[in-house]
């Protein structure tokens, strides 16, 4: 677990205005425009669609999502991930207008999903399946476009393209092969070009260079044909006939599913590239759906968020959605004014660009990550399925395998058997289901007949099959003269099943000590507990040694070797209801804790005559451990605060003497008055108001310690005041500027060092 940090994060950034940074957005839009033109043309070619369909999608994608969508720095346009779907629809219908109808339907489905606020459900797909799908599409694109690079025409299936590749190599068209391979070589080599030249998009350089070479050398190659220009490319979607409705519906659902997942994954990835406002995924999905609806109506390709354009947009300095809008405006102006230049580009050059795009979809980084998480098999099966069977069957096979492996992992049973002088100790953890019966029975069968066996069950679920397997083994072992003692350290799954009252719902496996404490509080358990109350603690210690010890041993062993390096000193009350590690989600070694009655810090001048234990702890934390922060944490319903209000002098003894250090908090509270007391809006009780005032008083007292004062002045130490509301189970933090406690998560500045008087 990562080391916790007691400082507080700033509030979420606000969505920037459309013209908040026009200069940066204009420059970024030009960079994205230069990337978008060749990619839009190439994706249209790979999809088997009219070339103009790619440009229409590029124009509509940026304009619509720039205005409507929820990811302001994401750039939308035609994407390689949808080429296989569109290519299949083109082959199936033979009429681009019917393909447009499927795209429109897909857009409407996306809008409905976004309006229903279930966009995040679209992310509930295994990354191995998503990346495997994209890699399979990339391989399919590369195999098909290699034929175009070599001067031929692609077949309808990836395996057919692979099979026909040797024949195509024998009959290659030399000029086309030269230009296509040169394009691929330029794209591969451009990553090593130094700045500032490398700032020019590689795709633009490759396409322009290869096109220029074809014109200078007068090469006879097939070139792009816009077939009448922009207006002629507007092929409005047609209403499908009854015979086509089923196919259009399937196509629309497929477009919606793939485009939604790809767009939302891109939005999440884009959020990691900048520190601006986070994406609103539901709004983004509505915007993507609207863009697809309009693009399909006008005869354009389907669109998604595109990581290549989005990352280029952010790296170029974009600050708002204005960049995405302007990049579409530049595409429109280019098509209207310089469309004749597009028709100079050879098809083999665009095919070379697409081969490179396809190869990049097989991402080595994703493969390494999936191998780390043991999901490479899902990836490989999905890739193979998409290439061999087609897009939808391939995705289906990948999803099925992902579900099977997920169920297997969720149902895994951890069984450990240890032998000590003839006695056997069996630890069973996880979920006990029929899937884990083979490993369970295999482990139990190794135990010799007639031996004594202690079984510790720490499971969050046990189905009937698992119970039957364990119970049958127990009966058999005891029949042969052995003894079996089953101790359930969590819920009583086995005992209840044996009584005929099994549990059915999976339970939470909280900390074992917490489970034991909750069980010990039950009347039946308390009646059997020793009068001194030690039995639950001994049970907890035994459970720790038996189970939790294995989990924390590596960390504690490391800390024993290297020593402790906590980030903060945490001063809080000794109240049994306060667990400091839980409040900051800390691991062993993260915080140095000082606890006493009332979280009181005697002033440094008082410490010698009061309690040196507090002063020594503070000095050790600051001077020796070099903590970066000190937190004083009070809490509601504090007995010390109630005693101060009720007259602590009557208590007598050590408790009364200790609480006398809190009288200054009582005086401060009375002086401030309720109108200025640092209260949370929900506070009403005088003792809770005093608890908050006491936190502020102890912060001031901390500053009297020389070691603390030196740290504050050097800027190496920060002070924070916290208050924990027990009933609300919420932490609030003292905001010195606002003079009140605010919810944790708001932007709070640490207390500044004291200002020294000058002569």
User: Where residue 482 sits, what CATH number does that domain have?
Assistant: 3.30.750.24
Encode pLDDT of 622-633 as tens digits: 999 999 999 999
Q: What tens digit of pLDDT does each residue of 471-530 get?
A: 999 999 999 999 998 887 666 778 777 877 776 665 554 444 444 444 444 433 444 444
Residues 568 and 555 in one domain: no
Does 470 lie in the same domain as 537?
no
Mean pLDDT, residues 275-297 taken together: 90
Provide mean pLDDT across the span 574-603: 90
Higher pLDDT, 610 or 118: 118
| Residue 388 to residue 396: CA distance in whole angstroms | 13
Structure tokens given for 154: 């692609």
Mean per-residue pLDDT, 346-354: 90
**Residue 557: predicted pLDDT:** 84
Taking a C-beta distance cutoff of 8 angstroms, is the pair 77, 331 a contact? no
- 272 and 191 assigned to the same domain: yes
**What CATH code is carried by the domain that includes residue 664?**
3.40.1050.10
Assess if residue 99 is contained within a domain: yes
Clarify whether residues 176 and 209 are in a common domain: yes
The mean pLDDT value for 150-177 works out to: 87
* 140 in the same domain as 53: yes
Give per-residue pLDDT as tens, 591-619: 999 999 999 999 887 545 556 889 899 99
Task: Tell me the residue ranges of DSSP E strands in 135-286.
Answer: none
Domain count, the chain: 4
| pLDDT 10s digits, 362-375 | 888 888 888 877 78
pLDDT of residue 317: 84
DSSP string, 114-160: HHTT-GGGGG-S-HHHHHHHHHHHHHHHHHHHHHHHTTS---SSHHH
749 belongs to a structural domain: no
Q: In this model, does residue 49 exceed pLDDT 50?
A: yes
Residues 699-744: tens digit of each pLDDT? 999 999 999 999 998 888 999 999 999 988 889 999 887 788 888 7
Mean pLDDT across 127-148: 88
How far, rounded to the nearest angstrom, does the alpha carbon of residue 678 sit from its chain's CA centroid?
37
Residue 621 pLDDT grade (very low, low, confident, very high; cuts 50, 70, 90): very high
In this structure, the answer to whether residues 96 and 42 fall within a common structural domain is yes
Residue 403 lies in a domain: no
pTM of this structure:
0.61
Rounded distance between C-alpha atoms, residue 134 and residue 83, angstroms = 10
Percent of residues, the chain, with pLDDT higher than 90: 35
Residue 253 CA to residue 85 CA, distance in Å, equals 11
Give the closest residue to 460 by CA, choosing from 491, 498, 489: 491
Q: How confident is the model at residue 696 (pLDDT cuts 50, 70, 90)?
A: very high
Task: State pLDDT tens for residues 8-33.
Answer: 333 344 555 666 678 888 988 888 88
Q: What is the pLDDT of residues 454-474, one digit of tens each?
A: 888 888 788 888 899 999 999
Judge whether residue 641 has pLDDT over 60. Answer: yes
Question: What residue numbers bound the domain in which 549 lies?
Answer: 517-562
């Amino acid at each position: 677990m990562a080391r916790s940090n007691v400082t507080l994060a700033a509030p979420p950034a606000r969505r920037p205005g459309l013209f908040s940074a026009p200069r940066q957005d204009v420059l970024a839009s030009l960079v994205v425009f230069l990337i978008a033109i060749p990619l839009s043309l190439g994706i249209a070619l790979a999809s088997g669609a009219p070339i103009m369909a790619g440009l229409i999608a590029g124009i509509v994608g940026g304009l619509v999502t720039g205005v409507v969508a929820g990811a302001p720095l994401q750039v939308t346009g035609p994407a390689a991930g949808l080429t296989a779907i569109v290519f299949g629809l083109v082959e199936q219908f033979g009429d681009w207008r019917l393909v447009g109808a499927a795209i429109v339907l897909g857009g409407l489905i996306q809008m409905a999903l976004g309006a229903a606020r279930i966009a995040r459900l679209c992310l509930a797909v295994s990354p191995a399946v998503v990346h495997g799908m994209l890699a399979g599409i990339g391989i399919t694109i590369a195999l098909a476009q290699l034929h175009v690079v070599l001067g031929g025409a692609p077949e309808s299936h990836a395996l057919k393209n692979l099979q026909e590749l040797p024949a195509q190599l024998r009959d290659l068209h030399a000029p086309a092969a030269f230009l296509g391979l040169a394009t691929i070589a330029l794209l591969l080599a451009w990553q090593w070009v130094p700045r500032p030249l490398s700032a020019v998009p590689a795709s633009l350089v490759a396409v322009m260079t290869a096109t220029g070479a074809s014109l200078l050398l007068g090469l006879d190659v097939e070139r792009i044909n816009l077939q009448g220009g922009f207006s002629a490319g507007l092929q409005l979607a047609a209403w499908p006939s009854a015979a086509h409705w089923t196919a259009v519906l399937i196509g629309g659902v497929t477009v919606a599913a793939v485009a939604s997942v790809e767009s939302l994954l891109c939005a999440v990835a884009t959020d990691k590239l900048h520190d601006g406002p986070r994406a609103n995924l539901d709004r983004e999905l509505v915007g993507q759906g609207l863009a697809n609806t309009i693009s399909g109506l006008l005869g354009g390709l389907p669109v998604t968020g595109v990581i290549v354009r989005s990352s280029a947009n952010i790296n170029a300095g974009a600050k708002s959605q204005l960049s995405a809008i302007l990049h579409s405006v530049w595409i429109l102006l280019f098509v209207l004014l310089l469309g004749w230049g597009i028709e100079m580009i050879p098809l083999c050059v665009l095919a070379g660009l697409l081969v490179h795009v396809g190869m990049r979809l097989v991402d080595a980084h994703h493969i390494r990550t999936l191998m780390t998480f043991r999901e490479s098999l899902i990836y490989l099966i999905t890739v193979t399925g998409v290439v061999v069977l087609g897009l939808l069957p391939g995705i289906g096979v990948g999803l099925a395998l992902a579900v099977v492996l997920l169920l297997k992992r969720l149902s895994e049973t951890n069984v450990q058997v240890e032998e000590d002088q003839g006695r056997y100790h069996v630890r069973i953890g996880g979920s006990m289901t029929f899937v884990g019966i083979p490993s369970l029975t295999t482990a139990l069968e190794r135990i010799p007949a007639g031996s004594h066996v202690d079984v510790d069950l720490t499971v969050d679920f046990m189905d009937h099959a698992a119970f039957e397997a364990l119970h049958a083994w127990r009966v058999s072992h005891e029949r042969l003269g052995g003894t079996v003692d089953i101790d359930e350290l969590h819920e009583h799954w086995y005992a209840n099943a044996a009584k005929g009252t099994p549990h059915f719902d999976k339970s939470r496996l909280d900390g074992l000590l917490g489970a034991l404490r909750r069980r010990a509080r039950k009347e039946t358990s308390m009646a059997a507990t020793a009068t001194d109350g030690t039995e639950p603690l001994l049970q907890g210690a035994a459970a720790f040694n038996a189970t939790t010890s294995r989990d924390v041993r590596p960390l504690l062993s490391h800390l024993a070797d290297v020593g402790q390096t906590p980030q903060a000193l945490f001063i809080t009350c000794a109240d049994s209801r306060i667990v400091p590690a839980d409040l900051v989600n800390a691991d062993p070694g993260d915080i140095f804790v000082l606890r006493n009655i009332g979280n009181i810090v005697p002033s440094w001048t008082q410490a010698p005559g009061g309690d040196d234990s507090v002063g020594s702890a503070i000095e050790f934390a600051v001077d020796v451990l070099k903590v970066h922060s000190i937190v004083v944490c009070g809490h509601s319903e504090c007995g010390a605060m109630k005693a101060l209000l009720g007259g602590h002098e009557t208590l007598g003894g050590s408790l009364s003497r200790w609480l006398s250090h809190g009288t200054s908090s009582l005086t401060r509270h009375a002086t401030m008055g309720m109108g200025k007391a640092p209260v949370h809006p929900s506070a009403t009780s005088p003792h809770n108001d005093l608890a908050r005032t006491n936190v502020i008083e102890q912060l001031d007292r901390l500053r009297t310690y020389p070691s603390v004062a030196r740290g504050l002045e050097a800027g190496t130490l920060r002070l924070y005041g916290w208050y924990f509301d027990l009933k609300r189970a919420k932490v609030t933090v003292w905001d010195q500027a606002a003079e009140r406690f605010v919810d944790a998560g708001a932007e709070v500045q640490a207390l500044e060092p004291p200002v020294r008087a000058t002569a």
